[in-house]
Amino acid sequence: MDRIALIRHRLEDSREQYGRNEYVDIIRTGIDESWDALASRVDFESASLYVFSKRSQSLHKLSEYGGGVNFINLVAFDYGPGLSGWVAKKQRPVYLADIHRGTRHGHAPIRSYLSQPINSHEDVIGVMNLAHTEPNAFERQQMAVIRSYIENLKPILEIYQRYHHVARTPAKNDFTRR
């Protein structure tokens, strides 16, 4: 989790140094790199991180690892596609410890799936999904590490939400106010 702490310090030190779009890119790159820190402590094969957009009131994929994962992606829920949208709306995790899917789903189907909401001040700010081809991949010890990772990730996602929204909001001046 040292990688996440490093990202947070870099963001705090660079507020005045970078423009808004550069700041958002630093966050995206840092999160992409932080997957390796989590993978060194929790065995998983694919992951996705979604951030909640206050403006569109839906999830948007921010980062993925190993090709990403989101179950029932073709189903649309209020807060976005797939199980991630449902998890964001209900603000409840989904852990499927031993999924039995037929061989028609490929040579190495997903057997363990975790979709975890990320909340800040009782509001959803994101959803993280992890998947593994082994059953029961995310047990008590792994869940503690995952929770710690998410707690460290929260301030970064809050900053991302703030700067991503600001970066896409048109500047107001005398001409655009009319």
CATH of the domain at 33: 3.30.450.40
Residue 49 has pLDDT above 90, yes or no: yes
Please check whether residue 114 lies inside any domain of the structure.
yes
Domain count, the chain: 1
Please check whether residue 101 lies inside any domain of the structure.
yes
**pLDDT at 27 (0 to 100):** 82
**pLDDT at 114 (0 to 100):** 97
Please check whether residue 159 lies inside any domain of the structure.
yes
What does the pLDDT look like over 50-103, one tens digit per residue?
Answer: 999 988 999 999 999 999 999 998 999 999 999 999 999 999 999 999 998 655
- CA proximity to 111, closest of 95, 94, 133, 96: 133
Please check whether residue 173 lies inside any domain of the structure.
no
Mean pLDDT to the nearest integer, 6-25: 68
Query: The domain containing residue 38 runs over which residues?
Result: 2-168
Alpha-carbon distance of 33 to 140, in angstroms, equals: 25
Residue 16 has pLDDT above 90, yes or no: no
What are the distances in angstroms from CA 97 to CA 29, 34, 77, 156?
A: 30, 24, 23, 29
**pLDDT at 156 (0 to 100):** 87
Mean pLDDT to the nearest integer, 12-18: 63
Contact 99, 109 (CB under 8 A): yes
SS3 139: coil
